[in-house]
Structure formats: structure tokens, C-alpha cells
Amino acid sequence: MEAAAFLENPEGPMSDIPDPVVERNKTETVASFEHHSRGALDRVQHFLHRFPTMVPVIVLVLSVIAFGLISPNFFSAFNLSLILQQVAVVGTLAAAQSLVILTAGIDLSVGAVMVMVSVIMGKLSVDFGIPVPIAIVIGLVVGAGTGALNGALVTRLKLPPFITTLGTWNIFLALNYYLSNRETIRSQTLDAEAPLLKLFGERFNLGGAVLTYGVVLMLLVFAVLWYALYQTAWGRRVYAVGDDPEAAALAGIQTKRVLMSVYVVAGVICALAAWSSIGRVGSVSPTSFFEANLESITAVVIGGISLFGGRGSILGPLIGALIVGVFNSGLRLAGVDVLWQLFATGWLIIVAVAIDQWIRKISS
């Protein structure tokens, strides 16, 4: 209703032009578009509409302060860096998930792709004696292939992404059990035969903070995606396709090609997350990260990316993943039962989606 009042406001720029030919020359000078006054709530809505990532940023800052006051240990560089380590894998997956959700899709298969690719990387290196770098490249290609399969089903057969990836989730999970024979490749075996696979678990010191290369990888993935989405034509097209696919097609975008590229890139990022997950867990386990796909969606939603596509910043899911990490760590340090972590995460999701709906009302 605030938005409607704003658009119909008689002080609006379209209505004060009785004779456009005469007025036209006057309006060359800089005139403020939003000069009429609005209510405070209205202004908040418009501010969040312009900067949707501010919601998760505020939540993150407030929760860090709150948990810091509750438990003194929380603020230590060690604990804060531990949170980063804990969210590195899910955060990387959330980057892949963000791309798909920006196109108004959803990818339920990201977790299964990640585990399957980690099994492939491990098996090829350990059981088949393939040089580790080549096994990693094969893993990345398989990741791209899984994305291509999802993308082809969505664009060629026109299946809804939810159903497509619900199907491929099960398929990849089954393949994962088949390929791994449900056996874990132990940490010692990896150390002896394929130490490169554990690269992203290695730690380094940064002024009291202990980071892993997995954290660096996650930050790099987000940085590259930020560049691609905001500074290249491809990124603008991803947003356009997610926002209104018909309008994008009429404006000359080859929407199927854009969608396909999004799923393939998401698949490759899942494969990178797979490599990172081996370092994080220390072994290759076909039963690990069972909830990773849902956790990645949680991070994206809390991060303020709209499930309806085309809206939200790619940096939001990074913050969303950190919020979940901060809640988990903070509540644990405060000695709260684990179930309340789930409880808190649940409310965060609902509040985040409610805020998104409210912000979107501006356009109606």
C-alpha cells in the first residue's frame, strides 16, 4: 500500500507536466525524484529495497555483539576464525545455490553432487592411481556435467527446477553410494596417497586467527561471482532472466543459454566445494554432509536473495552462512541445547522470507 501511494502521489514527476513541450526544457536540471515526504516505515522499505543485503548485515552484527556479551570467549580471534572454518563448505555450496535461486530456480542436488564428486576425486586418486591433479580436474568436469544435466532438464524438457533437482538429488546420491561402495576413504590413506585432496583443510595463522585454505576458497568464489554478476553482461542477464524471463527473451536475451550456463557454473562450484569438503572432514565419506543442500538454501534465504528470482546480492548468502555459524557457535558457547540452534535458524528463515515479501511489495 505504501508503494501504491508513492506511485500515485500527485507530487510525482509525471503529473506536474501540463504542457510537456514547454516543460521539457525546464526539467533538464537536476530535480530530486523522491522529494515528497514518506513515513518512517516507508523509508525503511525503500532503503531495504535498494540495499536488500542490509538485513542480514544488521542481523549478523547484532548477533555477534549479543553473543559476545553473553560469552566472553566468543569474541576471541580463534573462535571467530573457527566459525569461518565451519561455514566454509556450506558457504561455498551456498554460492552455487545463489546462482540458481537468482534465476528463480532451486537446486536440491548441490549436496549430493558435492559428496559424489568428493568420492570420485578420492576413488580415482587412491584406488585407480590416477595423478591427483587429474583426478581433481575430472571431478570438476563431472561437477560441470551434473550441472549440464540439471540445466538440460530445466531448459529442454522445461521441467520445474524443484522437481528436476529433487530427481537428480536421489540419482546422484545413489551413484555416490554405488561408486563409493558405502566405504569411507580414511584420512591416513589420503595423507599417504593423495595429500593434495586435503589442501583446503590446511591451516595458516593470520594475526591470532587460524584460517584454512577452504575459507580462502569460499571467499574467492564469492569474489569471482560478485565480479561476474555485477561487472559483466552475463551477470546482468542472469538477473534479467530470473526477474522476468519473458521480458528478457523479448529484450533479446537467449534465456535458455543463460540458464544452462548458470547450472553448469553451479555444478563446477559444487565440485570445488567437494574438494574443500575433503579437507574439512579429513576423509572422503559418502555419508557426510547429508543436509548440506538444505543448509545452502538456508544461507541463501537468510542472505536476502529472493526465492522468486532476480533480486538480492551475491554477498548476502556469505553473510547468511556466517549468521548460521555465529548462532551455532554462540549458542553452544552459552551452553544452550543444540535443539535451540535449529529453532533459531528456523525463525531466521521465516523472518528473512517475510522481509523479502514485504520489500517486493514496492514494485506492485
Report which DSSP code applies to 200: G
Provide φ and ψ at 131, rounded to 5°: -50, 135
Element (H, E) at 151: helix 132-155
Closer Cβ to another protein, 1 or 339, answer by number: 1
Query: What three-state secondary structure class fits 199?
Result: helix
Stretch binding another protein (CB under 8 A), from 31-39, 64-72, 83-91, 215-223: 31-39
8 A C-beta contact, residue 333 and residue 86: no
Binds another protein (CB under 8 A): choice among 31, 41, 62, 174: 31
Q: How many residues bind another protein (CB under 8 A)?
A: 39
Report how far residue 326's alpha carbon sits from residue 68's, in angstroms, rounded to the nearest whole number.
10
Q: Which of residues 269-298 bind another protein (CB under 8 A)?
A: none
Binds another protein (CB under 8 A): choice among 1, 11, 32, 72: 32
C-alpha cell at 149: 544435466
Q: Does 42 bind another protein (CB under 8 A)?
A: no
Report how far residue 76's alpha carbon sits from residue 240's, in angstroms, rounded to the nearest whole number.
43
CA distance to 88, 103, 191, per residue, from 194 (Å)? 21, 37, 6
Nearest distance, CB of residue 36 and another protein, angstroms: 13
Closer Cβ to another protein, 279 or 312, answer by number: 312
Q: Which of residues 236-255 bind another protein (CB under 8 A)?
A: 236-237, 239-240, 243-244, 246-248, 250-253
Nearest distance, CB of residue 9 and another protein, angstroms: 9
Q: Does 258 bind another protein (CB under 8 A)?
A: no
Report how far residue 58's alpha carbon sits from residue 50's, in angstroms, rounded to the nearest whole number.
15
8 A C-beta contact, residue 158 and residue 164: no
Q: Does 37 bind another protein (CB under 8 A)?
A: no
Binding positions for another protein, rule: CB under 8 A: 7, 12-15, 17, 20-21, 24, 27-28, 30-33, 49-50, 227, 231-234, 236-237, 239-240, 243-244, 246-248, 250-253, 310-311, 362-363
